[in-house]
Chains A and B, each alone.
Chain A
Amino acid sequence: MRKLRAIILLASLPVMLAQAEPKLVPDVSQREIEIRYSFTGAELLLFGAILYPGGRIPTGQADIAVVVKGPTEPIVVREKQKVAGIWMNVESARFRSAPAFYAVASSRPLAELIDERMASIYELGLGNLQLSPGTGAPVDVQQRFEAGLLDLRRRSALYVENPKGVEISEGVLYRARVRIPARVPVGTYTAETFLIQDGRVVAGEVREIKIHKLGFERFVAMAAERWSLAYGMVAVAISILLGWGGSAIYRRR
């Protein structure tokens, strides 16, 4: 329901903004991120300009929030409990659409920019992610798993909230840095930029970023997936050759 409302609002945004509202001209430093043999993560620079009608910068404060979001995927979150002295997975909860990566940066803390309702419409902030939990579990259990998931991914830098991550200079130029860690899945990511004024989102733009494996890494991952038997046989052959070759070299000395 919330999602539907968000779509309607986003779709009607241009109509609502028709009367001389400011426009955003966003860009990202990289439209494609390539995972190669020595990939240890990447740093994205999101930057752009705010175009005010007539070039007049308003006196009221305008703020920017940027969101970089990875592809959503269905997941199971498992919770360990102590059973007979051993910590093991006991309970679990499903989430149908957890983003693999989510980073939000803003020029001021989100709570100061926008109220809860608007924040949840635009999925601004970690607390407002639409994870679509699987039905059945009581609300408090769901919330416990959701908190566990957020905490886990925040500490592995997959979910990031940076309340002072956007710099605005001269009231018109903005930029933000978002760090993409090495452990992100491949896929199409989105970089959304929102211009926020008086608790309202007055302009929003989306850019796509593609993250993919390249060259050898891509070939290996694809081979393992598509030609798994041949891949396994090659792995065995390589290990036999290396083992045999190693001892042959040493014996000759």
Chain B
Amino acid sequence: MDIYLPIAGLSVNALTIIAIGGLVGLLTGMLGVGGGFLTTPILIFYGIPPAVAVASATTQITGTSVSAVLAHRRRKGVDYRMGAVIIAGGLVGSLVGGGLFRLLQQGGQIDTVIALLYVILLGSVGLLMAKESAAALGIVKLPEARKAARRHNPLIAMLPMRWRFYRSGLYISPLAPLLLGFVTGMLTVLLGVGGGFIVVPAMIYLLGMSAQVVVGTSLLQILFVTAATTLVHATTTKSVDIVLAILLLLGSVIGAQVGARLTQSVKPELLRLFLAIVVLAVAFRMALGLGWRPEEIYTVQYL
């Protein structure tokens, strides 16, 4: 079933795209990650122009995060004050990222930068997760290095103007979450990811937020920042393909529900190990693409 994508300018098999969305949705439902880090590379491997893949994946993440945010809201798992600060940073970050994207596109380096960032970010996050989940499953033994647990990083405690974030149980300067939001917003524009895989660890280990609001707040930030990023892409790079996004969403909405049901019967540590392997596989494939002699030495860019 071929469908012509009006912005990407090529025909794709609609069922394949829905299946990709479904696979990513399954992961979202099972693991609570947005899955943008999977969608974008898969779309690029499939032959969708990188700019269109990044922009349309962002639009899809908005859709998948909506239902998750609603679920967390019902469980009171969202810190709105913290969320607002991170979103504010994220909006500025997405605007700056949009400018950067444009600049890199004109210089012809956007593909390389996207791939490099993916390899570095996914590689390191994947390794950390693999280590952590393997230790939790008892596959490997980590040396006992538990010092008296510090609430948050001393650098963050040094920042001026402290605010109280009641739900997170924090009394810290809003500058730290603002900066975190800014960096994530930039990554969202550049990579087409929600940034949950950066924000969640940063909230836990750097800010020291209480665990029950971490995922919900991160999802709230993803919802708003991906929505803003879609607007940034629509107005600057003009590469949001609405047909592609809808096809992906059709798959991922269903996949997410199926995935959420599957989770209840599997150990969470096992799921995290599985996620780590998937993340590492994507990073490895991206690294291969960088180091291997590419099939096409020459590429054409329209002026």
Contact = CB atoms under 8 A, between A and B. Distances in A.
Contacts of B4: 35-39, 182, 217
Nearest to A222: B6
Interface string A238-252: 111011111110100
A153 B299 CA distance: 10
Contacts of A221: 6-7
Contact of A236 (B62, B67, B71): B62
B3 A38 contact: yes
Contacts of B169: none
A38 B11 contact: yes
B3 A79 contact: no
Given A87-B294, A231-B234, A76 B246 contact: no
Contacts, number: 177
Contacts of B298: 77-80, 145, 148-149, 151-152
27 contacts: A35-B4, A36-B4, A40-B2, A74-B302, A75-B301, A76-B300, A76-B301, A86-B116, A88-B109, A148-B298, A182-B4, A182-B11, A231-B242, A235-B234, A235-B240, A236-B227, A236-B231, A239-B60, A239-B66, A240-B62, A243-B64, A244-B66, A244-B67, A245-B253, A246-B256, A247-B256, A248-B67
Interface in A38-72: 38-40
Nearest to B235: A228
B112 A232 contact: no
B11 A40 contact: yes
Given A149-B300, A231-B242, A239-B246, 9 more contacts: A74-B302, A75-B300, A152-B299, A220-B6, A221-B6, A225-B238, A232-B234, A235-B234, A243-B66
Given A40-B2, A78-B301, A220-B6, A228 B253 contact: no
Interface in B206-240: 227, 230-231, 233-235, 238, 240
Nearest to A80: B297
Interface stretch (B82-90, B138-146, B190-198, B285-293): B285-293
Interface in B1-52: 1-4, 6-7, 9-11
A38 B294 CA distance: 30
Interface in B253-303: 253-254, 256-257, 290-294, 296-303
B11 A74 contact: no
Interface of A: 35-40, 73-80, 82, 85-89, 92, 94, 98, 145, 148-149, 151-153, 182-183, 185, 213, 216-218, 220-221, 224-225, 228-229, 231-236, 238-240, 242-248, 250
A243 B245 contact: no
Interface of B: 1-4, 6-7, 9-11, 59-60, 62-67, 70-71, 108-109, 111-112, 116, 227, 230-231, 233-235, 238, 240, 242-243, 245-246, 249-250, 253-254, 256-257, 290-294, 296-303
A236 B94 CA distance: 15
Contacts of B63: 238-240, 242-243
A153 B6 CA distance: 21
A56 B55 CA distance: 63
B64 A79 contact: no
A225 B303 CA distance: 16
